[in-house]
Amino acid sequence: MTKFVAMIRGVGPENPNMRGEKLKWAFEQMRLANVRSFLTSGNVLFESDIIDTAQLEAVAEEALPRLLDFRRDVLIRSQANLQAIADADPFAGMVHENVGKTYLTVTFFKTPPVDLPRYPITPTASRSSFSP
């Protein structure tokens, strides 16, 4: 069995059907194994014999409205994929600070963006927003 994380966009704990115990139940109904919700983040950890993440995403996106009465995009990544990202050290030499100059995050896309920004992104003096 392969380990995965499902990242459900736009989950809010104020909706009772989006809480961890309900998400866990829904993923168990999808016949996934060792299901655990992660905090109130909308992330669900599970294992599956199915290794096609697009297929798993489709199953989850079909099941959520039917089981929990809400529709959301679901992104699924394997533990191996996430470990490869961590091992690649995409922010080499940068320090994460909750308050300060840098706040490092990783964003996942369902499909790759057309234009990728160059990092690090730094503010410019002539514009009030960040530029690539």
Tell me what the pLDDT averaged over the chain comes to.
Answer: 86
pLDDT at 125: 54
How would CATH label the architecture of 2-87?
Answer: 2-Layer Sandwich (3.30)
Lowest mean pLDDT among 17-26, 27-36, 91-100: 91-100
Would the pLDDT of 5 be above 90? yes
pLDDT at 131: 43
pLDDT at 129: 47
Residue 103 or 51, more confident:
51
The reported pTM is 0.78
Count CB neighbours of 6 within 10 A.
25
For 66-127, what is the HEC assignment? HHHCCCCCEEEEEHHHHHHHHHHCCCCCCCCCCCCCCCCCCCCCCCCCCCCCCCCCEECCCC
pLDDT at 71: 93
- Angle at 25 (CA atoms; ends 43, 68), nearest 5 degrees: 80
pLDDT at 54: 95
